[in-house]
Amino acid sequence: MTELDEDFVQTTDDFIRARLIHVLHIYPGISPSMLQVGIGTAISPKMWHPIMNKLKEEGLVKETEYMAQAPNGRDLTYKKLSLVDSTIVTSLAPTEADNHD
């Protein structure tokens, strides 16, 4: 991979990370499927899942799993993603100044 390719990948990862944090800030508890809609369907799960896993490993995002019963009586398992601390948005998301180097 060339230096230009590495820069592109890092920029893309930074963008996806910022989108994930942004959507989780707006929607404090959201399912992974709705998060996909929020960040944009053009960003494939193959691209954002590793970044989300890193956010979880860093302790910035938590995933909660819970059971609920559907109206038809079927037991379902749901996942909910949320920011551990919503104040991290200002410290982690790129600023306008960061985008104009």
**What residues form DSSP beta bridges with 67?**
77
In a domain, 101, yes or no: no
pLDDT of residue 100: 42
CA dist 101 and 96 (Å) reads: 10
Q: Which helix (H) or strand (E) holds 92?
A: helix 88-92
pLDDT over threshold 60, residue 4: no
Residue 12: its pLDDT value, please?
Answer: 86
**CB proximity list for 94: less than 8 A, separation 6 or greater:** 14, 18
Identify whether 99 is part of a domain: no
Structural domain boundaries, residue 47: 3-94
CATH assignment at residue 80: 1.10.10.10
User: pLDDT of 66-101, one tens digit each?
Assistant: 999 999 999 999 999 999 986 666 454 444 444 444
